[in-house]
Chain A
Amino acid sequence: MKEAAPPPWAAPGKLDTIGAWLLALLWILPLAYAVWTAFHPAEYSTRFALFAPLTLDNFRRAWEAAPFARYFLNTTLLVTMILGVQLVLATLAAYAFARYTFPGRGIAFALVLVQLMVMPDILLVENYKTMAHLGLVDSLVGIGLPYFASAFAIFLLRQTFLGIPKELDEAARVEGASALQTLWRVYVPLARPVYTAFGLVSVSFHWNNFLWPLIITNSVNARPLTVGLQVFSSVDQGVDWSVITAATLLTAAPLLVGFLLFQRQFVQSFMRAGIK
């Protein structure tokens, strides 16, 4: 963007490098700051000293102050359940859209796409009523149910399945495989990168999701991490920032570690998956 170094364009100008780095530092600052605060005693949370003693005490106190183990379990069960069901349902539906011609296909597909615009998080009031009728308020299934059928997953897999040569399908059928066997043996393996992409996006979305879980849960039994963290940091903790940042990092840690380890896949899957 800067006019720094015109023609020998192979290398970016110095100003570009400096600008890019400054912005990067600014962007990582909040996280770096949280890490600093969480690993140091409270008196250093507002004071930077290079050789301040390191401590894990904040994590211990956060862990003891709220049932984080339970929240972790809930979130883990929740994202696993949602992803599992999403993948199964979306695979079946995508296969129907990609390889069957049947009356009403266009309408059915349009009905699926509606969800891309009207996401369940906007229809809170009605969905809450439904959950109350079903007796699913304050349960993990209640949190997950509205997200089980993912229009986005169906759309993504349908596109992928359409790109798989029909000959493979026919060959499998000639061998005597049923539709479901073909789907399982031919389509699913070939679409593996798309499954990974959707998986990462879905897990990070639901790990981070907040509003719907907040509304539908009211006890420790079903509360996921995000809601637990909010309850934890809003009841007056004597504003002990070190403990709150420790809890904050705990909540974000699995995704953060996953992201650091699988950066490329993360970035590529977000790229591939567009959004949600």
Chain B
Amino acid sequence: MAALHAWLLLLPALVLLAAFTHWPAVATFIDSFFSTPRGSRPGVWVGLENYQVMAEDPVFWKAVTNNLWFAGATIPLSIGLALLMALWVNERIPGRAAVRMAYFTPTVLPMIAVANIWLFFYTPQYGLLEQVTGALGLPSHNWLGNPSTALACITVVAVWKEAGFFMIFYLAALQTLNPSLREAAAIEGASRWTFFRRIQWPLLMPTTLFVLVNAIINGFRMVDHVFILTRGGPDNASTLLLYHLYEVGFKFWDTGYASAISVVLVVTLASVALFQFFVLDKRVHYK
């Protein structure tokens, strides 16, 4: 009887989860072995052909390298800045509340809205960046239109957006640290740097790992600003995996191939999560 009650309570949530998470995940996997249905012609079993297409798709590989580059740059930069921000606003600096707010504000703004603002910064000829570099006597540069800088521009926006968010977790952790550790270090005559390296940093390790996992996951899901800033261009220089998936699935309507790309993304994200569950959690819980 109790079991029946419990299942009834769970039913609505489980049905929706099954319909929009479990089933689509399984169906994506199955579909990745079928060709894309066209008109009234249903998809047929093609085995690994979609994956073969993927292996031979230069844009896919470009998206993979870009995404790795993007993640590789965004993750350390945003975590490093977040830590620095948290250490600063954890001190009694003048105007602490305002500083804290300034760091965190980008987090609550819609990505699509802030991308608009950044777009203007990067605009050639009269954008803000151009005016600054122009005032310094540097040559004009089309930041988003140049394959060598487009991805870096997107990375900067992502770091700006994420650092303040991660700061919150560091700040929370710093505030739970025992103040007597600090006094003891001061009495011992340890420098601030030593205090940070020997005491704060090791104690922040669990937070760093938590933030790291989130940063990795975000690194592979971030896509909004690509729409506004570059649309993946120029010449796919700033395509990321999720954007490529969108283009394949919803611009070219190649759903078979899109499923194969989704599988790659799901496997990537799931391995990050599993890594966290099985490896990191065990090492980090040393309360």
Do A and B share a complex? Answer: yes
Query: Counting CB contacts under 8 A, is A120 at the interface?
Result: yes
User: Shortest Cβ distance from A176 into chain B, in angstroms?
Assistant: 17
Binding site of B, secondary structure by majority: helix, strand, loop or mixed? Answer: helix
Q: How far is the CA of A234 from the CA of B6 in the complex (A)?
A: 49
Q: How far, in Å, is B38 (CB) from chain A's closest CB?
A: 15
Q: What is the distance, in angstroms, from A148's C-beta to the closest C-beta of chain B?
A: 5
The answer to whether B6 and A102 have CB atoms under 8 Å apart is yes
Is the CB–CB distance between B250 and A124 below 8 Å? yes
**B188: min CB distance to chain A, Å:** 10
On whether A204 and B108 interact (CB within 8 A), knowing A245-B120, A263-B101, A270-B168, the answer reads yes
Residue numbers in A under 8 Å from B45 (CB-CB): none
A211-B242 in contact given A16-B93, A270-B107 (Cβ < 8 Å): yes
Question: Are A233 and B228 in contact (CB-based, < 8 A)?
Answer: yes
Also in contact, A252 and B13, with CB within 8 A (given A102-B7, A105-B6, A127-B24): no
- Is B273 in contact with A117, judged by CB distance below 8 angstroms? yes
Chain B residue with the shortest CB-CB distance to A109: B10
User: Residues 1-20 of chain A: 1 if any B CB is under 8 Å from the residue's CB, otherwise 0?
Assistant: 11111111111100011011
Interface 0/1 of A157-175, CB less than 8 Å to B: 0000000000000000000
| Chain A residues in 8 Å Cβ range of B164 | 27
B128 vs chain A, min Cβ distance (A)? 7
A211 & B246 in contact (Cβ 8 Å cutoff): yes
Known: A17-B93, A20-B93, A122-B269. A95 touches B113 (CB 8 A): no
Asked whether B3 is an interface residue with its Cβ less than 8 Å from the other chain, the reply is yes
Q: Evaluate whether A208 and B266 lie within 8 angstroms (CB atoms) in the complex, with A31-B117, A92-B12 already known.
A: no
The answer to whether A24 touches B102 (Cβ under 8 A) is: yes
Residue in A4, A122, A245 whose CB lies within 8 Å of B221: A122
* Smallest CB separation, A162 vs chain B (Å): 15
Within 8 A of A (CB), among B208-226: 210, 214, 217, 221, 223-224
Expressed in whole angstroms, the Cα–Cα distance for A220 and B99 within the complex equals: 39
Question: Cβ of A247: which chain B residues have Cβ within 8 Å of it?
Answer: 116
| Chain A residues with CB below 8 A from B221, complex form | 119, 121-122
The answer to whether B113 touches A252, judged by C-beta atoms less than 8 angstroms apart, is: yes
Residue of B nearest to A124 (CB): B249
- A258: chain B residues at CB < 8 Å are 108
Q: Given A208-B111, A229-B116, A233-B116 in contact, is the A125-B258 Cβ separation under 8 Å?
A: yes
> Which residue in B85, B113, B117, B189 is a CB contact (below 8 Å) of A7?
B189
Contact of B117 among A34, A117, A148, A255 (CB under 8 A): A34
Contacts of B255 in A (CB 8 A): 125, 129
CB-based contact B224/A27 at 8 Å: no
Chain B 84-101 interface mask (CB, 8 Å, partner A; 1/0): 110111011111011111
Inter-chain contact B2/A102, CB cutoff 8 Å:
yes
Rounded to whole angstroms, the CA-CA distance of A210 and B12 in the bound complex is 26
* CB-defined contacts of A256 to chain B, threshold 8 Å: 105, 108-109
Mark out the residues of chain A between 134 and 151 whose CB falls within 8 Å of any chain B CB in the assembled complex: 145-146, 148-149, 151
Q: Give min CB distance, B62 to chain A, whole Å.
A: 20
Question: Are A271 and B93 closer than 8 Å at their CB atoms?
Answer: no
What 1/0 flags go to A210-227 for Cβ under 8 Å of B? 110011000000000111
Minimal Cβ-Cβ distance residue in A for B81 = A23
10 residue pairs from A and B, CB less than 8 Å apart: A1-B196, A46-B128, A93-B10, A120-B20, A122-B262, A124-B262, A125-B31, A126-B28, A233-B116, A244-B116
Given contacts A3-B193, A27-B164, A114-B17, list 7 more A-B pairs with CB under 8 A.
A1-B192, A23-B81, A25-B102, A122-B266, A126-B262, A263-B97, A267-B100
